[in-house]
Structure 1
């Protein structure tokens, strides 16, 4: 064997010895899965909501009822929200920072990714998807969730889905 091959073999064997020695001192990882924390009272994680009205801060527009169309949001424990916006489906990320007052705080949504089906005229699917990026606060009172838009842009009022 040549000198270079002996050095290479020695390097491989010493590396294997070091890895083996480290493995003996390694702390085993837990084998049980950690369950996500349950939804806190008044929190959003693990809850589902159906839109019932949109409140405008413009008195001329007032409050608009949603009617028969279905707009739903499901807050997952993984920081993702599933959306059902009339004839389209999609999702977005969300981050909640609870306030000191129970059932209230700030919430921000990432850009929504939606299917692009053509919903019937009058659908709010694209408006809601766009407005989610401007939501800044939430308040849960009983079975009602209010998502307020920044700069007094309006309030989306949702009812809990059992």
Structure 2
């Protein structure tokens, strides 16, 4: 029996030698979605929440761009999705209005360049900062 299996393998190997295996691209699960911030959780157990729902919104578009409403300011730029869960934002341009002392705008501008991955769990989007720096949790918007 062993000889038979070996013979079959020898017959099949030349047929497979020139074969190229192609993988299909994985669709971007963030494309054409929008999310509102629920909270930000840092490793030191600090949890920050927006004072009003809808003040912090992420919108991912089909052309690979992202727009971010961060309190009274708007940020915009590009993002790169890498299967299965990689995410990086390109340079983000921003308006520069002062939103008040309790605004999370400064956190957004400081943290977004350090986003490296995401997961969608229980319907919510979780953005992870590099080196386990923190997690931004968003709920979906229609």
Q: What secondary structure is seen at the aligned counterpart in 2 of 1:123?
A: coil
Q: What secondary structure is seen at the aligned counterpart in 2 of 1:94?
A: strand
TM-score (norm 1): 0.67
Structure (1 or 2) with the larger CA radius of gyration: 1
**For residue 125 of structure 1, what is the aligned residue in structure 2?**
105
**For residue 49 of structure 1, what is the aligned residue in structure 2?**
35
1:99-114 matches, within 5 Å, as 99=84, 105-114=85-94
**For residue 50 of structure 2, what is the aligned residue in structure 1?**
66
Whose strand fraction is larger, Structure 1's or Structure 2's?
2
Query: Contact conserved, 1:52 with 1:67, CA < 8 A, in 2?
Result: no
Q: Deviations over 1:137-162 (max 9, x none)?
A: 10012420000000110000001011
1:68-147 matches, within 5 Å, as 68=52, 70-99=55-84, 105-147=85-127
Structure 1 runs (4+) greater than 6 angstroms displaced: none
**For residue 17 of structure 2, what is the aligned residue in structure 1?**
none
| Structure 2: stretches of 5+ with no match in the other structure | 1-26
Give the length in aligned residue pairs.
115
Moved more, 64-73 or 109-118: 64-73
Shift in Å, 1:89: 1.1
| Structure 1: stretches of 5+ with no match in the other structure | 1-39, 100-104
TM-score (norm 2): 0.76
RMSD in angstroms over aligned alpha carbons?
A: 1.5
Query: Contact conserved, 1:87 with 1:118, CA < 8 A, in 2?
Result: yes
Counterpart-to-counterpart distance in 2, 1:127 and 1:44:
22
